[in-house]
Amino acid sequence: MQDVTDASFWALVQERGGADVYWTEYTRVHACSRPAREIVESILNNQTGRPVVVQMMGNDPEALVRTARSLEALPVAAIELNLGCPAPVVYRKCAGGGLLRDPERLDKILGRLRDTVSLPLSLKTRLGFDSETHFDTLLAIYARHRPDLVVVHARTVLQGYRLPVRYDLIRRAVERLPCPVLANGHIQEPAQALSILAQTGARGCMIGRAAIRNPWIFQQIRRVQAGLPVYYPTGREVLRYIEQLWTAYATPGHPERLQTQRVKLFMNFLGEGLGPQAEQFLYFIRRVQTRLEFFDVCRRFLEHDEPLHLVPTAGKAVEAAPSAPSAQRFCENVLTGSPAP
């Protein structure tokens, strides 16, 4: 997630149980580019003790190869080519999800990367650009180049983040690819995550926006896997998380209005999980301009000891399946090169 998944955010998630693997923001690659300084700094400052996968995004085969070689010198577990970014400014340049419209160029890029990259090679893909009609063609291209991991965001590029999510097509990817597959897309809570794993046969789940709203979600999934009750944070614990976000992202010396705007980015996600109070919280938080106003609103809604599920009202999930593959096994098998179970 651009502007979110850096070392500071990883540390906040890790403090609350932590993911098994962390992904960087994407580094933009073109003929004259170098790996983004802030992404390199995040990799070097990773304090989580967990592996990091670094993302590249571009459409120039030789520039991507050059960048991959440079990134291999860093302490990363794998190198990923992003084929899923739905931002128009990206796909109009035939990068991110835009590459799904050009299978010949995609085929060439993957061939060059597969011949060059010595670390595990990961792909993050969507189902297609404007429809899933050619998903089988994409799977055939991926299978031919034998990536070490494929993350499937089960929506099209033009669909953005709208429903529905085609989890059934993740199962198709699992069945047709010679590597582990991760399920991605609208995963909101632990019961749903385990159900999706059981439905799809995926090796694990990639969780993005829900982790901004609920950084406890990875711990919660592990507890459900272990047959334990789900731990839900109290309002005060969520308030503490927001305080830490402010410390991490509200850059001292910048105008207070801009500092507030930076942290409000996170509140747009978190506020959706406040149940009946979500609409009111978002109404007020989007209008604040100063630190004082910001925390006045946060305390008004969160200074309490009631547990919060942090799931959008419209995003209630399906029941949990009785069992699912272990995310820990995913780490051990995919990112250390051990055989899959």
Beta strands in 113-261 (DSSP E): 121-126, 149-153, 181-184, 204-206
CB 100 within 8 A of CB 157: yes
Which of these is catalytic: 85, 179, 205, 331? Answer: 85
Instruction: State the Cα angle at 90 between 272 and 32, rounded to 5°.
Output: 130
How far is Cα 194 from Cα 318, in angstroms, rounded to an integer?
10
Indicate the pairing of strand 78-83 with strand 149-153.
unpaired
CB 326 within 8 A of CB 225: yes
Instruction: Please state the φ and ψ torsions of residue 274, each to the nearest 5 degrees.
Output: -95, 20
**Strands laid side by side in the 22-28 sheet:** 22-28, 52-57, 78-83, 121-126, 149-153, 181-184, 204-206
Q: Which residue carries 């699912």 as its tokens?
A: 324
List the one residue out of 94, 153, 165, 91 whose CA is nearest residue 124: 153
How far is Cα 341 from Cα 338, in angstroms, rounded to an integer?
9
Residue 3 backbone class (left: φ over 0; alpha: ψ -120 to 50; beta: rest): left
CB 256 within 8 A of CB 290: yes
Beta bridge partners of 206: 184
CB 129 within 8 A of CB 100: yes
Give yes or no: 331 in active site: no
List the one residue out of 116, 96, 86 whose CA is nearest residue 27: 96
List the one residue out of 21, 31, 50 whose CA is nearest residue 148: 21
Active site residues: 85
